[in-house]
Amino acid sequence: MMRTPPPNIADILIESLPYIQLFYGSTIVVKYGGHAMVDEELKKDFARDMVLLKYIGINPVIVHGGGPQINKVLDQMGMTPTFIRGMRVTDQSTMDVVEMVLGGRVNKSIVNQINQQKGKAVGLTGKDGGLLIARKMRILHQSNDSKPPEIIDPGMVGEVLAVHPEIIHTLTQKGFIPVIAPVGVGASGETYNINADLVASKIAQALNARRLILLTDVDGVKNANGELLTTFYTDQLSEMICQKVILGGMIPKVECAVEAIETSVNKAHIINGRIRHAVILELFTNKGIGTEIKRRSTKNE
């Protein structure tokens, strides 16, 4: 007797076909962070997703965070983390921990997960091949409207001056998946901790990526009523920050996405990495699961 496949499986596969055709041969930069990096099943799901992308002709480039892992080590050392506008204030002692955790433990764990799923991943930091050239960042912070803004020195926190993507091109052409820790190098060889969303955005721009995907622990960008915006237009950013609809750590995420789109990236997505196979669901289904960010004139491409 012929077995009938489970309902909707064939329809789901056919639904994905136009998206696979659209993305074939293109580069997709994925910022990997949040709970998806902690939960063991989600880690395996993410690794499978990246291997699947590579096997169907798409070039994933992964930039990872590691905030919870860094905080755990800092706590063990009796050090209290401090954040300004979602950026970690980083003195030299904290920088040593950041580099050890991001460039070592976290990076190699992701590489190992992908390789266990029969992919070929290679771990990098921004120091490798001169990938990320950085300088010290200074943050303009205004605690309330009645006070003038102040300039805060966050320590060894950097911003990206230049991206030299040759090493990424070499790896992707040879069938590897680059996994990048957001640590950059200054003009004098100093090490900088750089926000992973910012690094992902800059790398996406340098690669002319078709998509920038930011995994986080929320469903996406929400309106003033707390409702998910499935589509967010770049020209909405300033107003929503002024109205305090976009707050805290979501500010740099959306800013990075908008900058990438206004430079060279077709679209960006902010999605909930706690949903299994979140990247695949966002890219290859009609409805998606998070917030798609684009210019108003951008077609469905």
**Whether the predicted pLDDT of 2 surpasses 60:** no
Q: Is 109 helix (H, G, I), strand (E, B) or coil?
A: helix
- pLDDT higher than threshold 60 for residue 275: yes
Backbone angles phi, psi at 99, to 5 degrees: -65, -40
Give the predicted TM-score (pTM) of the model. Answer: 0.90
Mapped onto helix, strand or coil, the DSSP state of residue 191 is strand
pLDDT tens per residue across span 215-251: 999 999 999 898 999 999 999 999 899 888 998 878 8
Q: Which two tokens stand for residue 70?
A: 């860094």
pLDDT over 70 for what percent of the chain? 91
Structural domains of the chain ordered from first start: 19-294 (3.40.1160.10)
What number of other Cβ atoms are within 10 A of residue 52's Cβ?
17
Burial classification of residue 10, based on how many CB atoms lie within 10 Å of its CB (0-12 exposed, 13-18 middle, 19 or more buried): exposed
